[in-house]
């Protein structure tokens, strides 16, 4: 798919505030609301825009503990990994799970209301999951930066690896 500077600007604006109306977006990128609507529909159909969500503030919700937890499995056969990955889907406090290289097999991002709740989650649920051998956690002290916005500036860069979308100057 080809995207141009206007598409990049729309994506940037949507990442900052997905509630902006098409008319408001159009004013900022100098297009009509209907042109913006067609462009956004095209970006959605291409899978670049996967959806829209409300960002909730964990501090306001009383989720005061954020932990980055490394998990190592006892065996590395596909069945053990699949069972673990399936099991964590049911634990709402696990916000992110990524298979990684290095000392651990997975890194989890977990939120909890307090350290007692976090400890209970780890001891009563996480270490009981299939194949879990070792769990190590780092507790966040204070957040310096959090962003869900994808960097877009590399798309126009000559030295970048070619993404699945192609930037055009039009």
Q: Is the domain of 71 the same as that of 127?
A: yes
| Domain, as residue range, for 117 | 65-139
CATH number of the domain to which 117 belongs: 3.30.70.920
Q: How would you class 90 by CB atoms within 10 Å of its CB: exposed for 0-12, middle for 13-18, buried for 19 or more?
A: exposed
* pLDDT tens track for 103-145: 999 999 999 999 999 999 999 999 999 899 999 999 999 999 9
Q: Name the token pair of 19.
A: 């509630």
Instruction: With respect to residue 157, please indicate whether it lies within any of the assigned structural domains.
Output: no
Per-residue model confidence (pLDDT) at position 156: 64
Q: Is the domain of 34 the same as that of 83?
A: no
Instruction: State the Cα–Cα distance between residues 36 and 38, nearest whole angstrom.
Output: 5
* pLDDT tens track for 81-113: 999 999 999 999 999 999 999 999 999 999 999
Contact 21, 33 (CB under 8 A): yes
Q: In total, how many domains does the chain have? A: 2
Q: Is the domain of 51 the same as that of 70?
A: no
Instruction: With respect to residue 163, please indicate whether it lies within any of the assigned structural domains.
Output: no
């Amino acid at each position: 798919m080809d995207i141009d500077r206007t598409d990049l600007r729309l994506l940037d604006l949507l990442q900052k505030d997905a509630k902006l109306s098409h008319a408001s977006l159009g004013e900022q990128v100098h297009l009509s609301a209907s042109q913006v609507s067609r462009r956004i529909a095209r970006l959605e159909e291409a899978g670049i825009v996967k959806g829209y969500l409300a960002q909730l503030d964990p501090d306001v919700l009383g989720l005061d503990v954020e932990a980055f937890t490394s998990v190592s499995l006892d065996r590395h056969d596909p069945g053990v990994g699949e069972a673990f990955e399936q099991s964590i889907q049911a634990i709402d406090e696990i916000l992110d799970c990524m298979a990684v290289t290095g000392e651990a097999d997975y890194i989890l991002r977990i939120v909890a209301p307090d350290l007692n709740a976090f400890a209970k989650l780890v001891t009563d649920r996480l270490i009981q999951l299939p194949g879990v051998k070792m769990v190590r956690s780092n507790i966040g002290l204070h957040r310096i930066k959090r962003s869900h916005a994808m960097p877009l500036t590399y798309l126009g860069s000559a030295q970048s690896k070619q993404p699945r979308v192609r930037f055009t100057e039009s």
